[in-house]
Amino acid sequence: MPRYFFHVIHERHEVDREGEELPDRYAAWREATETAGQMLQGLDGKLTPDRDWRMEVADEFRNTLYVLHISAEKRG
């Protein structure tokens, strides 16, 4: 079963060195969206304007498959 890695960039670059075995890239997408939702809830007000949050999903060959990007902007 292929291994996928979920790297998070917010305040610092958190590299996923362990990864997770999942059946395919579609399962990796589902895992990424579920995990991202949980992580964003855990930010508890720490996402501020001009500080982006990003998760990169990579396969076992280090190819980036997906990028989830949350951008906060202050207007006015």
Task: Report the pLDDT value the prediction gives residue 66, as an integer from 0 to 100.
Answer: 98
Amino acid at 11: E
Residue 28 tokens read as 């990796």
**Where exactly are the structural domains of the chain?**
3-70
- For the CA atoms of 15, 64, 24, 31, the dihedral, rounded to the nearest 10 degrees, stands at 50
Asked whether residue 61 carries a pLDDT value surpassing 90, the answer given is yes
pLDDT at residue 25, as a whole number: 96
Contacts of 15 (CB under 8 A, 6+ apart): 5, 7
Residue pLDDT, tens place only, 10-60: 888 999 999 999 999 999 999 999 999 998 888 777 778 878 899 999 999
Task: Note the pTM of the prediction, 2 decimals.
Answer: 0.87
List 12's β-bridge partners, or say none.
10
**Looking at the DSSP assignment, which residues form a beta bridge with residue 59?**
4
Task: Average the pLDDT over 63-67 and give the result.
Answer: 98
